[in-house]
Amino acid sequence: TFGTVNYNSATGKVIKCDLCGGDPECAKACPTDAITYVDADWTGLDKMRKWAAKTDAGQQAAH
């Protein structure tokens, strides 16, 4: 997980995830696609948050 510190038993070293410079190897190597990497700017998260805020504001006004 990004930013966490983990012990690598194979090397005996502690490592910290740095997302491999924006191209994480774990996501590429995951055979089941359980680990994925999506650029936060690409997801449209801001648009979803704005829509949710409008929806919430509309519900608040109705009550």
Contact 1, 12 (CB under 8 A): no
pTM confidence score:
0.44
Q: Encoding tokens for residue 54?
A: 């409008």
Query: Residue written as tokens 């700017």?
Result: 41
CA gap 44, 60 in Å, rounded: 24
Rounded mean pLDDT, 15-42: 83
Hey, where are the domains in the chain?
A: 5-62
Give me the DSSP letters along 18-54.
-GGGGS-HHHHH-TTS-S----TTTTTHHHHHHHHHH
If pLDDT is split at 50, 70 and 90, which confidence band does 36 have?
confident
